[in-house]
Amino acid sequence: MALPNHGANAHHVYERLGIEMPETVIDYSENVNPLGAPTFVNEKWSTYAQLITKYPNPQGEPFLSAAAKYHGISVENTVVGNGAAEIFASLAKRYENKRAVLIHPTFSEYEATLAPYNVYIKEIIATGKVPLDEVLDEVEFAEVIYICRPNNPTGYLIPLEEIIQIAKYAMRYKCEVILDEAFLDFIDEKESFIPYLKEFPNVIVVRSMTKMYAIPGIRLGYALANKSVVNDIRSRMPHWNSNAIATTIGAECLLEEDYRTRAIAFAKEMREQMTEFLVKWNCIVLPSATNFLCFQLPDSSRSKEFFVSLLVKGCVLRHTENFKGLDGKWFRVGMKEISQMEHLQKEMTAWFVENLSS
């Protein structure tokens, strides 16, 4: 039995597997900030509603300037997208009939957006630490390499010094580096590559507002790169691609320093507690730098049974059957509120006691 692809669409999993959906379902396959959107979003919603009667700014203002200021970079080096997904879609045609390097397991959107453009994809498999020598060897013959940092779904953070080394080597061979920093907010901006962009015009950094600020429904992302790349990305986007509510809320989100500090601390606390719980049951847990973690059962042959059992209890993990290199033997779990994490551990404990205890 093949498990259906999913992620933040729990009803689809139940429907495809023919399992009755419980009245209460907690979707741990989602990996947005468990604290929810900043409080000002609800408090000022009536104000935002007034924006729908006018066309939005075609460049994505006021968010464009806010993002540039936040990172200390020029607006000429910044482009706003309808979510990071639109950025990746707009970038893909840039590499038509060329060669790309993907480090699996990773975000499926890279390969999906490249597929229509006859891009030859060289795959490197690295569940944990990335084989730097192999990456450098492949970069020499490629036009682009995609790097997710921290990686989705493993949570692994390639050291910044290694990213700099890759960027330097790639520039020598006229290879571009697309650096996906969608989950970097959950660490610290000092880990970002953005301060090095002036030194490396071959690097494109893609960021998302979805994860940290828990606003996936309004679709907002952006890219930072040299001016010619920014213009190229923008030329492939429709006018008014970002709505006025999204760009206004996004600009205000970047001012929420206390919120970010709390979110980083909370995600770390939940991740450490969940890791401790899983290790106690002899699960293998990959080191994660963000608000989710990846784990494997002591007996990975029972992964589907475990997954379905939790579905019946209303707990939806992210299976990994569609992630190359993980092959369904691992699970990704997003951090949630304390009570929800306790609920998951309770249901998992019941399964472990019944199935793993000797």
Q: What is the pLDDT of residues 233-283, one digit of tens each?
A: 999 999 999 999 999 999 999 999 999 999 999 999 999 999 999 999 999
Considering the domain architecture, whether residues 44 and 65 belong to the same structural domain is answered as: yes
Total tally of structural domains belonging to the chain: 2
- Look at residue 2 and tell me if it is in a domain: no
Q: In this predicted structure, what is the pLDDT of residue 3?
A: 72
- Look at residue 301 and tell me if it is in a domain: yes
Considering the domain architecture, whether residues 173 and 308 belong to the same structural domain is answered as: no
Considering the domain architecture, whether residues 249 and 303 belong to the same structural domain is answered as: no
pLDDT in tens, 189-246: 999 999 999 999 999 999 999 999 999 999 999 999 999 999 999 999 999 999 999 9
Considering the domain architecture, whether residues 148 and 250 belong to the same structural domain is answered as: yes
pLDDT confidence bin for 4, thresholds 50/70/90: low
The CATH number given to whatever domain includes residue 341 is 3.90.1150.10
Considering the domain architecture, whether residues 250 and 107 belong to the same structural domain is answered as: yes
Q: How many helices (DSSP H) and strands (DSSP E) are in the chain?
A: 14, 13
Q: In this predicted structure, what is the pLDDT of residue 358?
A: 56
**Mean pLDDT, range 157-168, rounded to an integer:** 98
Considering the domain architecture, whether residues 183 and 303 belong to the same structural domain is answered as: no
Considering the domain architecture, whether residues 183 and 304 belong to the same structural domain is answered as: no
pLDDT in tens, 39-78: 999 999 999 999 999 999 999 999 999 999 999 999 999 9
Q: Quickly tell me which residue has 């500090």 as its tokens.
A: 261
Alpha helical stretches, state H, the chain: 10-17, 39-43, 45-49, 63-71, 84-92, 109-114, 132-139, 160-172, 210-213, 227-235, 244-253, 257-280, 303-312, 338-355
Beta bridge mates, 298: none
Q: In this predicted structure, what is the pLDDT of residue 6?
A: 62
- Give the residue among 179, 135, 125 at the shortest CA–CA distance from 157: 179
Give long-range contacts, CB 8 A cutoff, 24+ apart: 262-267.
262/35, 263/33, 263/35, 263/185, 263/186, 263/212, 263/291, 264/185, 264/186, 264/187, 264/188, 266/34, 266/35, 266/335, 267/33, 267/34, 267/186, 267/291, 267/335
Q: In this predicted structure, what is the pLDDT of residue 190?
A: 92
Considering the domain architecture, whether residues 93 and 227 belong to the same structural domain is answered as: yes
- Look at residue 132 and tell me if it is in a domain: yes
The CATH number given to whatever domain includes residue 60 is 3.40.640.10
Q: Are 183 and 156 in contact (CB under 8 A)?
A: no
First-to-last C-alpha distance (Å) of the chain: 28
Question: What is the extent of the structural domain holding 191?
Answer: 39-257
- Look at residue 3 and tell me if it is in a domain: no
Q: What is the pTM of this model?
A: 0.95
- Look at residue 1 and tell me if it is in a domain: no
Considering the domain architecture, whether residues 248 and 299 belong to the same structural domain is answered as: no
Considering the domain architecture, whether residues 158 and 266 belong to the same structural domain is answered as: no
Considering the domain architecture, whether residues 50 and 21 belong to the same structural domain is answered as: no
Encoded tokens for 23: 């009245």
